[in-house]
Structure formats: C-alpha cells, structure tokens
Amino acid sequence: MGKLSGKIALVTGASKGIGQSIARLLGAEGATVVVNYATSREGAEQTVAEITSAGGEAWLMQGDFSNHEDITRTFAEIRRRHGRLHVLVNNAGIAGFGPLEQVTGEEFHRLFNLNVLGLVLSMQAAVPLMVEGGSVINIGSLGGSMPSAYGSIYSATKGAVNNLSISLSKELGPKQIRVNALNPGLTITEGLQASGFMQGERYEAAIKATPLGRAGQPDDIARIAVFLASDDAFWVTGQVIQAAGGITL
C-alpha cells in the first residue's frame, strides 16, 4: 500500500519534465493520476504508460490551463469519473526572458494567463471536489523570490504564485485543504537541454553557486511533491519551499 492509495490526483503539464516525474511518483505511491497536457499528447501517453506499466492507475486529459473553458471541462470530467479530488499539482507553466524594452502586452498576458490566472481558476474549480480535504502544490520557481536580470515578467508570475499560495492556505485551511508553493531551482529538463544553457558559463556559475554541487533532476522535485501530497505533510501548509540544492542568495 502506497502512502497515496485511494487518492485522486491531477497533475497539469504532465507530459514531460518535472510534471511527468511528479505524476509518475504519485502513481507509484498509489494515487490515481489524471495526466493533463495541452499539446504534447505523445509525452502524456508516455507518462500514463509508465504509471500503468508499474501497476498504477492513470488516465489522460487534454486541456490548456490558460483557457477557462478547458479548465472547467477538465474538472467536470474528474467529477464525472471520480466525484472527488485529493491532490492538485499546478505544474503547467511557461517561461519568457528578455530585456525591458522587448516586453509587450501580449507577452505579459501570455505568461500571466497560464502561470497565475490559470492556477487561480484551477484551484477555484478543485476546491468543490476536495470534500475530504486535500493538498494543492503550486509549482513556482526560485525566480519567484530570487529574480534574475531579463526575467522580470516571468519572475513576477512566480512571485505571484508564492503569495497566492500563502494567502489561499489561510483561506482554505478551515476546509482542511493545504496549499504550498514548491519552487525548483536549476533543474535538468528537456526545455533546459534544448535551450543550450547547459553548455555555457552561466550554467557553470549556477552549479558553483549550488551548495550541493549539481543541478537538480526532475525526480528531486517530484519526491518533495509526493511528501507534500501525502498525510506525512499534514501539518505543512502556507509554505514556500525552495528546492534548489541549498541556494539562498
């Protein structure tokens, strides 16, 4: 029996990277995992296959969480199939970097619509299904509390994730719904590898600045998410957890 046996969990953006690892480990601990994806169906199918081949339960749900209709449709299907939800991992998000002079209204809203508004609407839709209490894990970023140059709008969205998580933990505590922000630092994902960042001086500097001496792996983040999802973390809510190998400055 896993520590999440009998639990229903939704992981948004679970077709690759951190979301895929979280979904896989939640499934390994006995949760029935709803694997959400926006466009990468092949990756989402792989996530489901990995969970089910290991003896777990999972199913696919397409939905763009920057779109209110898709969010509503996703939770309606969860209600139809299960009637309840115990764990919500708001992992879907996008990054964007560039100098101030290149910021546009379109880019601003593209980032905020998914990273912030989508997260709020997702929680709004999840709460009525968390009739037995539950755990909400909002995946932020180290950039939310330690912004870098050229990441002003992205960092602003992740700072908002932190503040929303703290505020909503206080609002939802009486319903026995815990809300925490989980903020990865430098983590080796498909996106990071494709960016070319891992070959540059900035990558080497980031490793040197990490007390544990390496970049994170998706499973490093996923293991913390499993803890937050489980009853082991029953007394943990309203926290901003930096999962960055010890970086504090």
Which amino acid appears at position 21 of this protein? S
Ordered by start, the domain boundaries in the chain are: 8-192+218-239
Give dist(CA 55, CA 174) in Å, integer: 35
Check residue 54 and give its pLDDT: 96
Kindly tell me if the per-residue pLDDT of 113 is higher than 60: yes
Which of these is catalytic: 37, 150, 154, 203? 154
pLDDT, one tens digit per residue, over 145-196 is 888 888 899 999 999 999 999 999 999 999 999 999 999 998 887 766 655 5
Give dist(CA 204, CA 135) in Å, integer: 36
Please compute, for residue 57, the number of CA atoms within 13 A of its CA located in the half-sphere on the CB side.
11
Active site residue 154: yes
What global pTM score does this model have? 0.94
The DSSP line for 114-150 is IIIIIHHHHHHHHGGG-BTBEEEEEE--GGGTS--TT
How far is CA 244 from its chain centroid?
Answer: 15
Check residue 209 and give its pLDDT: 85
Q: Which residue has 């700072």 as its token pair? A: 159
pLDDT, one tens digit per residue, over 22-59 is 999 999 999 999 999 999 999 999 999 999 999 999 99
Structure tokens at 171: 């609002």
CATH architecture of 8-192+218-239: 3-Layer(aba) Sandwich (3.40)
Sign of the CA dihedral 150, 219, 49, 79? Answer: negative
Q: Quote the mean pLDDT of the chain.
A: 94
Kindly tell me if the per-residue pLDDT of 106 is higher than 70: yes
Check residue 191 and give its pLDDT: 65
Kindly tell me if the per-residue pLDDT of 133 is higher than 80: yes
Residue 232, sorted as left (phi over 0), alpha (psi -120 to 50) or beta, turns out to be: alpha
E runs forming strands in the chain: 8-11, 32-37, 57-62, 87-90, 134-139, 177-184, 240-243
| Confidence label for 197 from pLDDT (cuts 50, 70 and 90) | low
Kindly tell me if the per-residue pLDDT of 21 is higher than 80: yes
pLDDT: which is higher, 206 or 176:
176
Check residue 193 and give its pLDDT: 61
